[in-house]
Chain A
Amino acid sequence: MENNHNKVLLETRRLKKYFPVPAGYLHAVDDVNLTINRGETLGIVGESGCGKSTLGRVILRLHQATSGDVIYDGMDINNFSDDEMRKMRQKMQIIFQDPYASLNPRMSIGQIIEEPLKLHKMYKTEAERKARVEELMELVGLPMRSYNQYPHEFDGGRRQRVVIARALAINPEFIVCDEPVSALDVSVQAQIINLLMDLQRKMGLTYMFISHDLSVVKHISTNIGVMYLGQLIEKAPKNDIFEKPLHPYTIALLSAIPSTNVLKKSKKIILKGEITSPINPKIGCRFATRCPFATEQCTKETPQLKEVAPNHLVACHRWQEVADGTLKYE
């Protein structure tokens, strides 16, 4: 138990984030319990609107949670003051999806990477800061001549390298990567994925990697969590998610990924039914409207996330039947 405590870097307990909308409350993150171990990558997958980005932001307190706890390294950061939080942010950083929107067009690359060092007063002299910036540029594979260039001179892949260098400047331990490669072309995407994995090995970083692209998530993650309409519905080591998924939504999601394998055509599961609204959702399983296996119990009782095999958590009333193979999509 003692040992286990040391391993966990971040934990959320019953974390909720509701946004007020004219019709009531939009349940963007609803009762999410998860843990991330030191040095691992937790991949979060789900479709647009499932709350995966909001979850990342609530964890970093870029949004204040409606209720629930975020425990980082044993500290409940949800109740931290702004000052305390500013210190915490040296340890936690975020990389956003759009490298075009996240760089100030009027600052040079050198200034952009230097800014967090100034904000956190990490070096005394300008020369020391410059040396650190150059070190970071080398780390992420940016040529030194870029120091005085501006973001508009860069393509998406190189901009994302700048964003990564800036995030790493103050030696964080934990980085939320929110769709960091989705805006990039595949050939460049591979460069950035390799860079992120390489940096993790070198610096012992912990990632929460949010993406809708399941093949990217599988490549980079240790564990994978699947979200559906604000809730975490399944979480397991990556191979368990792909080899023996237990939630009917996970199964449908995996089958829908277009495969480049031209010899083995897999059958797609085409889901029917409408997606439930995340505004004032009713009690019951949120996937029930699209789930071919939904029973009366599913519409009356919200399934809780529980550990059904070592490290394999699922929130489904009928997981046992899925595991036994008695419930199958046609």
Chain B
Amino acid sequence: MDNKVVLDVKNLHVHYITDDATAKAVNGIDFTVREGEALGLVGETGAGKTTTALSIMQLIPDPPGMIVDGEIYFEGNNVIYNTDKENQAMRGNGVAMIFQDPMTALNPIMTVGEQLSEIVITHDKVSKAEAKKRVIDLLEVVGVKSDRYDDFPHQFSGGQKQRVVIAMSLLCNPKLLIADEPTTALDVTIQAQVLDIINQLREKYKMAMILITHDLGVVAETCDNVAIMYAGQIVESGTVKDVYLNPKHPYTRGLFDSIPKLDSDATELIPIEGAISNAADLPTGCYFHPRCRYCKDICKNQQPPVRGTDHKFMCHFDLFSQQEGE
């Protein structure tokens, strides 16, 4: 069970600093990803999911972005101190990323084959012919026919393009794949195809994955573990089963109550009141307290502690432990 740790993030803080304000996008998060594990990173717009991913990739736009504290160990090496050259070597061979929008992730004036071979040639210093062979093999794995090697991106449909992007990220056998909303721009039937491919490939290459999404359903069907983010913090984390069956943070509960369920006929959804706080003007105490229905005085003044060991949550109170019979 205890596979090797591929990624270890410790106390990461990332700020975007401008003349007017400092937006605190990520505020002290800790997590690890092991070999072969799939971690779902869930949260709403502005929760800091993508900033976390970009920090791991060392792609935070600087300025205004800055990692102000913390460590990111990839295979035991703190990437924050990497040189540009080391970063280039890590991206592709070590960590690869799939972006949300397949339309903007591909160069419109290069054929798909060219841009994929370029990656193999740059990273692995192989001949053009060999690169082409590898690209065609992998395109076939993701379900793109080899005769499309010379087509341009605009000739592909959205689902096909996302397959090309997935093939692109896997060309150099990464140890860790970061998928940032990989299916959000796709239709559900195509989403099912793409998730199916990602799952098969993960098993085949024993790859670790961080799946960033706002869709709790996608996480339930793809991931082993889940971390719920709010205002730049991980407010709850654990195995998908533990967190989904027995959510312990009021925010996680709120998320589940606000989505309509297909297998229930509830007439009223229970939304979370208000909206996420501005990252440049975070409240004191618990960041969730202005929207929390269980808010007490202590929540307004003090940051809550992290409770639990495997199933962790960040709250002053253990609100939901008694009512579960087990």
Interface residues of A (CB under 8 A from B): 47-48, 155, 157-158, 185-191, 193-194, 212, 214-216, 218-219, 242, 252-253, 255-263, 265, 268-271, 275
Contact = CB atoms under 8 A, between A and B. Distances in A.
Contacts of B257: 190
Contacts of B244: 260, 262
Contacts of B218: 258
A175 B197 CA distance: 40
A190 B245 contact: no
Q: Which 6 A-B pairs have the closest CB atoms?
A: A258-B217, A190-B271, A190-B258, A219-B260, A47-B187, A185-B44
Interface residues of B, number: 42
Contacts of B220: 258-262
A146 to B, nearest CB: 14
B275 A155 contact: yes
B29 interface: no
27 contacts: A47-B187, A47-B188, A47-B190, A48-B187, A185-B45, A186-B214, A186-B255, A186-B259, A187-B254, A189-B258, A190-B257, A190-B258, A191-B273, A215-B262, A253-B188, A256-B191, A257-B262, A258-B217, A259-B262, A260-B220, A260-B244, A260-B261, A263-B245, A265-B221, A268-B192, A270-B192, A271-B193
A214 B215 CA distance: 13
B44 A259 contact: no
B260 A193 contact: yes
B241 A262 contact: yes
Nearest to B240: A262
Contacts of B158: 48
Nearest to B257: A190
Nearest to A157: B275
A159 to B, nearest CB: 11
A218 B216 contact: no
B187 A260 contact: no
B272 interface: yes
Given A157-B275, A214-B188, A260-B216, A186 B193 contact: no
Nearest to B276: A185
A212 B268 contact: no
B269 A190 contact: yes
A323 B215 CA distance: 32
A259 B215 CA distance: 10
A56 B152 CA distance: 33
Given A186-B258, A189-B258, A257 B217 contact: yes
B271 A260 contact: no
A187 to B, nearest CB: 4
Contacts of A214: 188, 262
Contacts of B191: 256, 258
B275 A258 contact: no
Contact of A253 (B189, B262, B272): B189
A212 B188 contact: yes
B280 interface: no
Q: Is the interface of B mostly helix, strand, loop or mixed?
A: helix
Contacts of A271: 189, 192-193
B196 interface: yes
B270 interface: yes
A249 to B, nearest CB: 8
A187 B189 contact: no
Given A256-B191, A257-B217, A190 B262 contact: no
A256 B271 contact: no
Most chain B CB within a 10 A radius of its CB, from A218, A219, A258: A258
Interface in B195-226: 195-196, 214-218, 220-221
Contacts of A275: 157
B255 A187 contact: yes
A242 B260 CA distance: 14
B260 A260 contact: no
Nearest to A194: B269
A98 to B, nearest CB: 14
Contacts of B188: 47, 212, 214, 253, 256-257
Contacts of A257: 188, 217, 262
Contact of B221 (A191, A193, A259, A269): A259
Contacts of B275: 155, 157-158, 188
A249 B276 CA distance: 38
B14 to A, nearest CB: 21
A253 B270 CA distance: 26
Interface string B170-189: 00000000000000000111
A270 B193 contact: yes
